[in-house]
A and B are shown apart, each in its own frame.
Chain A
Amino acid sequence: MKKVININFQGRVVPIEETAYELLKQYIESLRKYFAFEEGRDEIINDIEGRIAELFSERLKNGANCITDADVNAVIAGMGRPEDFDPQEPEAATAGARDTGAHTTSTSWTTGNVPGRGSLYRNADDKIVGGVCSGLANYLRIDPVIMRILFVVFFGVLFWVYILLWIIVPSKSVSSSITKRLYRNPDQKVLGGVCGGLAAYFNMEVWIPRLIFALPFLFAIISSGFSPFWDWDFGFVPNIVSGSFGGSMFMIYIVLWIAVPVANTAAEKLEMRGQKVDLDSIRQAINKDLQNVKARTEKWGTELKETAENLGQRASEQAKVFTAQAGPAVRRSSNGLGHAIGVIIKAFLIFIFAIVAITLFGVLIGLLFGGIALAPLKDFVLEGSFQNSLVWLTLFLFFGTPLIALITWGVRRIMGVRSKRHFLGFAFVALWLAGLICASMLFYKVAGNYRRVASLDEEPISITQPDSILNVTTSSPDWKKYDRLRWMGFGDDDDWDWGFDSINQDSIMLSTVRISMVKSNDSDYHVYRVRSSRGRNMQEATNTASTINFDVTQNDSTIFLPKGFFITKKSKFRNQRVWMVMEIPVGKKISFSKNISGYNWITVNYDRHRFNIDNFDDDDDYYHNDEFNDERETSSLYRPIPGRTYLMKEDGRPERVND
């Protein structure tokens, strides 16, 4: 249902839909601009109006009740738009314009220039709800779209303002006086052309708004990549910047995507930049568009190029006729709900994709920096300069290359740069493959160092016999923990203990010690020590095992085990372990202090692909004895729980007693 008004057009009363009237007015206005400097302009306009009036009469005569949008569009299509007219220069010989003949003037319905600011009214023509924003924007001489966005963003406060204005302010049909409107730029778009449109409106380079929208995201990524490695002392700053700021920028982008219309026609594109909408600028804009199209099709070869040009020109001619009819209608409906839903779905999908990409990015950063941070430890594992260089190569090629590739791609997208050849892509892939090769070589080499396990035979530790109970505890450390590892997150956490502390950069203390209880064959306590290690071959493993320093001391009825043993960069980490076997005579007790909970047990079983870390905290009293070439039967060995006291029974099972 549309409002119909009567206009006095060329001396006749013509019923016409209000929206159709707007179209007509716009068209006449554009003609006025086109013929602005023409001699006899008024006459020409009058003639054209006369012709239009004639066409209207025909339609009304044929049974139409009023002139509709379709009628006006058809008439305009027939008459042609200013940009379609053949270019003409006024003749030099033309005498002064002479208005001969009497003809009625047609100014009864065309409004003159909009005077000043006037008073505030609601815009009855350009309205989505009540025309408040549009009228306000007209009054302030800014783009109504900006006004609408402001009202949406500050919805809570301005809601009542809006209602108030809606009631108070009268509605009036007003010709919009703005020459610069905010549009979305379809020629420069990555997602929705929002940044491109903003750039055109504010006359800045396109990467500036892109960076503004992307910056919180980037910041969030980088800070999340670093956060495992240090704590923010000023924790609130990154949250504000990366958290809420990033989120709100994202919402702003979505709001703009929905609210701001896209510039389709050449006239709209000119309005987007705030340029004068006249013949020359329209022609320039159209030419530029055509040139863009041509540049893009250049690479299809010459024949295709020519064909495309011909088709393009014919198509653009057709399109001009089409847009003359459909353009205004499309522009109105582009703010519709369906469009908004489509935009939301598209934005959601892009959001998901962005999340995946960002996660990958963060992971790569973490791996890269983690690798670098673990550098001091690598000397304990690697042997020789070849392996060392392999590690660095692996780090940068395998982890660093995808990272750099991702950064480059991201920056390129933001800047809107597109590379003609994919040379860089191939280079990155090649580097990454090289990194993959290095990684596998490294893995193979390093694994080779652990191929064989060797354990030295049981060595009895001589102790003086206590009376009834043997206390086992650890000797207090006389060294300081190496705190530098703390900043990486390896520290003294109870639930995240990697099994080693270090006192200086040249050696690491391992506490892979296991204690077992077994029944003694005589009435004496016995203590045995087994040291084991891995190596490239049996000889090397044996040698490494023999360098383990784990001496037991005794004071009265308490024996002190060291907290751990040291490995140096020279002796390397080869999964050295110490196994203490306590033989307890029947009827005698043995107690273990809580300190022995500090012992960890890392099982790396190369042949059978087993890797586990056992702490003494769990209640499991049984264990496997596969790694040791030892003659003791598994079933007779028991693992003590720290802080408990046991009494050895006849059947060989230690029974827990309370102390």
Chain B
Amino acid sequence: MNIDNTQSQMRKGILEFCILSIIRRGEAYPSDIVEEMKAANLQIFEGTLYPLLTRLKNATMLTYRWVESSSGPPRKYFSLTPTGEGFYKELEATWFELANAVNALTSKKEVFSTTINQEESNFQQDESSEPPVNN
């Protein structure tokens, strides 16, 4: 069994979700996104990011605008569309389900026992923090 495959599959599943969550916080351009993900210890190559962004844009999840800059060519700043917002929320729910299930299976304790079934409480959470994931 090739561990590369499994690991890349795991990454593939959450990449879109992470990118959308970054853009959700505010307009971002690709270089920024790469920096943020690096800061969060989730490395991604520009070459992986650009096609993803383009695909999301083509699927109307994202939109962008050009911003002129003095140091270099114009930049694309991406932001979330309403469709994208809805897409993000569904992904978020899926993520919580998965995270909870995995945590429950890999440890004896159960986390998020009370809030998991309530969508509203998810929206009231602090937006800038991601749910902690047990290693």
Instruction: List A residues at the B interface (Cβ < 8 Å).
Output: 10-12, 31, 34-35, 38-40, 43-44, 47-48, 50-51, 53-54, 56-58, 61, 78-82, 84-88, 90-91, 93-95, 97-98, 100-101, 103, 287, 313
Contacts and interface: CB of A to CB of B under 8 A. Distances in A.
Nearest to A12: B73
B58 A95 contact: yes
Contacts of B51: 35, 38, 40, 44, 85, 88
Contacts of A95: 58-59
A87 B50 contact: no
Given A80-B47, A86-B15, 6 more contacts: A11-B73, A50-B73, A51-B50, A95-B59, A287-B2, A313-B4
A43 B28 CA distance: 18
A25 B113 CA distance: 55
B72 A47 contact: no
Contacts of B54: 39-40, 43-44, 47
Interface string B49-73: 0111111011100001010010111
Contacts of B71: 54, 57-58, 61
B76 A47 contact: yes
Q: Which of B11, B47, B53, B75 has the most CB of A within 10 A?
A: B47
Contacts of A94: 55, 58-59
Nearest to A87: B8
A306 to B, nearest CB: 11
Contact residues on B (Cβ < 8 Å of other chain), bracket? 20 to 34
A313 B59 CA distance: 35
Given A40-B58, A101-B66, A80 B73 contact: no
Contacts of A38: 51
Contact of A51 (B4, B8, B31, B59): B31
- Chain A to chain B: the 4 pairs with minimum beta-carbon distance, closest first: A80-B45, A57-B72, A54-B72, A79-B46
Contacts of A31: 47
Given A58-B72, A85-B45, A93 B59 contact: yes
B46 A80 contact: yes
B135 to A, nearest CB: 17
A80 B12 CA distance: 17
Contact of A48 (B2, B11, B47, B59): B47
Given A85-B47, A87-B12, A95-B59, A51 B52 contact: no
B48 A54 contact: no
B60 to A, nearest CB: 8
A271 to B, nearest CB: 21
A470 to B, nearest CB: 104
Contact of A47 (B12, B48, B50): B50
A97 B50 CA distance: 15
B73 A88 contact: no
A88 B12 contact: yes
A54 B30 CA distance: 12
Contacts of B64: 101
Nearest to A93: B59
Contacts of A86: 8, 11-12, 15, 44-45, 48
Interface of B: 2, 4, 8, 11-12, 15, 30-31, 44-48, 50-55, 57-59, 64, 66, 69, 71-76
A404 B71 CA distance: 75
A39 B12 contact: no
A86 B47 CA distance: 9
The B interface is mostly helix, strand or loop, or mixed, namely helix
Contacts of B66: 101, 103
A88 B15 CA distance: 11
A56 B50 CA distance: 18
B47 A79 contact: yes
Contacts of B50: 44, 47-48, 51
Contact of B75 (A34, A39, A50, A56): A50
A48 B76 CA distance: 11
Contact of A54 (B12, B31, B53, B58): B31
A442 B104 CA distance: 83
B48 A39 contact: no
A85 B44 CA distance: 8
Nearest to B66: A101
28 contacts: A34-B47, A39-B54, A39-B58, A40-B55, A44-B51, A47-B54, A51-B30, A51-B46, A53-B72, A53-B73, A78-B46, A79-B47, A80-B45, A80-B48, A81-B47, A84-B47, A86-B8, A86-B11, A86-B12, A86-B44, A86-B45, A87-B12, A91-B55, A94-B59, A95-B59, A97-B58, A98-B58, A103-B66
Contacts of B46: 48, 51, 78-80
A98 B57 CA distance: 9
A88 B52 contact: yes
Contacts of A85: 45, 47-48, 51
A88 B75 contact: no
Contacts of B2: 287
Nearest to A104: B73
Contacts of B76: 47, 50
B47 A82 contact: yes
A88 B12 CA distance: 8
A266 to B, nearest CB: 14
Contacts of A39: 54-55, 58
Nearest to A56: B72
B45 A54 contact: no
Contacts of B74: 50
Contacts of A82: 47
A54 B55 contact: no
Contacts of A43: 54
B81 to A, nearest CB: 12
B48 A88 contact: yes
Contacts of B72: 12, 53-54, 56-58
Contacts of A34: 47
Contacts of B31: 51, 54
A40 B64 CA distance: 15
A451 B72 CA distance: 104
A113 B34 CA distance: 33
A34 B48 CA distance: 11
Contacts of B4: 313
A38 B50 CA distance: 12
A313 B50 CA distance: 26
Contacts of A100: 57
B93 to A, nearest CB: 19
